[in-house]
Structure 1
């Protein structure tokens, strides 16, 4: 014998639907979507082309990146360096045309309130997309690398200055040449590895595998002179002798960011 399910009256149906809608409203807040896809941008930003490599920031010719209490300052920097900082990339993780490094800029951007460095990076990503019309995509590739590891006998590093260095301090993208050596100022060992990658005799990406935290002023004596004297000790030897670290060959899967399109920056 068939029994029919009782049908709800229209008022009962309405009450039930209203109760479900209220439950969904409180379970899924209206701002949930904006939390998943945040949009952050600088309050104001100035990008000025640098003529002849003379930065308006300090009149020098070296690239500098400095996070401040209210924003970001970049001096004498090219677009590739901006992208690397914005997306927290090593030099070898960025692929694109040579024209990425064709022009240099002074950038000053204000966030309004004090924000974390990770938020400044997101703000710079937004600025690059807006002002340079930057478009890119990511790929994975396996490649030969050097891994920076601790040598037998342990590390011989200078004193860690992370406890005394101010929250905002300038970082340089290349070591300084002083008395025939290289000076790496205000660097973590990750920064040190990245700057080693820029030295022409080290022809592979360098990845920090030491696990050692801290910020250091590292001097690699005679390293610059060694580039001009093939008969002398190599930079790899100097790193092991002076710092108690070494570079070992390895294969690693790395993420690469490929630049698809960009334009000269729009006017301030």
Structure 2
């Protein structure tokens, strides 16, 4: 089963003052915007006929409504129930907040008469409409996240049992060699080497191969001659051995040997 690698969120980029302005600036801008929007929304509520302290509820209802609808629209996945309604509600809350500011400033500057039936009617519908939509969003179930798919383990097919190997018949010992039929090995002629170290290397030729430098060096070490250079091993010791027995130079090289 493959292990999922943990995901690490990269650190925010930019200098510290940019990160500070981003983290601390957003709540500051939000607070300043709400404070600046409150007088206009308050005056529109007064134009519609609300008296104090009830007129102060208009800024809070519009601001809370816009925030709740925006959060619902952003947190619900695409296609979930209530997401489209929350998006429309957030847009409507922004439109109402903008209209309240425009109407309040037009009235304050004398460009508009606040005593108009349509303005009073629209403003009067805001609180019950906001309440109805928030109750609708609260009653809409939030979809639960789907569980992650379980890792699928692939079971190996059971291998058929291996049949036991048949018992082998006991091997008979080889017959004793017939000493009369065997040719006696030719005795190696007694050779007196100029370099006594040749005596430690000469038995390596008995395997039917021409020994390499590494094997001859090890034989010299085992015989207590110490470490001997490559040029001495090949140019002096092996050359003298093959000088006395030229046929040894024609043997095939040992497998894996060093020249």
State the TM bucket, normalised to the shorter chain.
under 0.3
Q: Considering fraction of residues, name the structure with more strand.
A: 1
Q: Considering fraction of residues, name the structure with more helix.
A: 2
Kindly name which structure, 1 or 2, has the bigger radius of gyration based on alpha carbons.
2
Question: Per chain length, whose mean CA-contact separation is higher, i.e. which structure has more relative contact order (CA < 8 Å, sep 6+)?
Answer: 1
